[in-house]
Amino acid sequence: MSILANKDTRLLVQGITGNEGLFHTEQMLFYKTNIVAGVTPGKGGDWVLNGKIPVFDSVQIAMEVTGANASVIFVPAMYVGDAIFEAVDAEIPLVVCITEGAPIQDMMRVKQYLKSRKTKLIGPNCPGILTPGETKIGIIPGNISIPGNIGVVSRSGTLTYEVLYALKKNGMGVSTCVGIGGDPVKGMGFVETLDLFEADAKTDAIIMIGEIGGNDEELAADFISRKLTKPVISFIAGVSAPPGKRMGHAGAIIEGTSGTAEGKIKTLESVGVKIARFPEEIPGLVNL
């Protein structure tokens, strides 16, 4: 079983005619992702990838014609806000934004708008979603994971890949992997994703990959203590980060003593989360 996306998900690609959009559309198709449409304003009526994918001028038209129920965004950063608003207005249930460098003010407006809508947003600046053996939405390599019963949620793209491959090498499979991204203002966070994994009957354990900055991990710890019944294993990047120096993602900003790796680890350990000191330790901590 999976959360958010599976083999029946009908995906459209916003920005499909750009270099990034076209390249990753081809990779997703190779993984058998069910891509039904692309959207690039002004290029409606075109077809890409040797006539495999029709291109439409708007998300609304693409949805009406193809029945798409998810979107992945590869547009330039300056257009991310408009692209998300267009998808939300069309009432797409799931939007995954891969683009890096989205303006924070644009995302603040998006975040506020989403409160009154049903659309779930993943990203921006994220690797997307992988449901092994069924579908991939975004840029997570499809060959580094196998189907299974472990849910993975992560703020870091590179660490996501490392953990997925470590699990595979140990014969452990994944129900769904969700890369939520590391920006300070984004769509779904740890809490919302953990809640979906808790409700998924085929997910038996959860791996949460965090990093310095922000308070997502502390919020997750509070949720785990109150509502989660499944075991959680976590790795927090940034233990050796020099004090006062910004590291990694835009969201990896430490203010005073808030947001440090040590603080996050202590909080998670206090609610029973097993902590891996290195990513390769994670498979050994999964006890199913």
Tell me the per-residue pLDDT of 218-253, one tens digit each, with 9 for 90 and over.
999 999 999 999 999 999 987 755 555 555 555 555
Whether the Cβ atoms of residue 132 and residue 148 lie closer than 8 Å to each other: yes
**Alpha helix ranges (H) inside 58-188:** 59-66, 80-89, 104-114, 157-169
* Cα 171 from Cα 155, distance rounded (Å): 24
pTM exceeds 0.85: yes
pLDDT given for residue 259 in this prediction: 79
Whether the Cβ atoms of residue 152 and residue 209 lie closer than 8 Å to each other: yes
Confidence of residue 258 (pLDDT cuts 50, 70, 90): low
Show me where the domains of the chain are located.
Answer: 11-122, 141-285
* Cα 121 from Cα 272, distance rounded (Å): 29
141-285 matches 11-122 in CATH topology: yes
- Bin 134: left if φ > 0, else alpha if -120 < ψ < 50, else beta: alpha
Task: Give yes or no for residue 98 having a pLDDT over 90.
Answer: yes
Neighbours of 142 (CB within 10 A): 16
Confidence of residue 213 (pLDDT cuts 50, 70, 90): confident
CATH code: domain 11-122 is 3.40.50.720
Residue with tokens 């599976």: 6
pLDDT, one tens digit per residue, over 45-65 is 999 999 999 999 999 999 999
Residue percentage of the chain with pLDDT more than 90: 88
Q: Which of 74, 76, 80, 138 is nearest to 109 (CA)?
A: 80
Of how many residues is the chain composed?
Answer: 288
Residue with tokens 């502390």: 218
pLDDT, one tens digit per residue, over 4-32 is 999 999 999 999 999 999 999 999 999 99
Task: Give yes or no for residue 255 having a pLDDT over 70.
Answer: no
Residue 206: phi and psi, rounded to 5, are -130, 135
Identify the CATH homologous superfamily for domain 141-285.
Succinyl-CoA synthetase domains (3.40.50.261)
Q: Which of 162, 185, 95, 173 is nearest to 134 (CA)?
A: 173
Positions marked catalytic: 249
Higher pLDDT, 241 or 151: 151
Tell how many helices (H) and how many strands (E) occur in the chain.
Answer: 9, 14
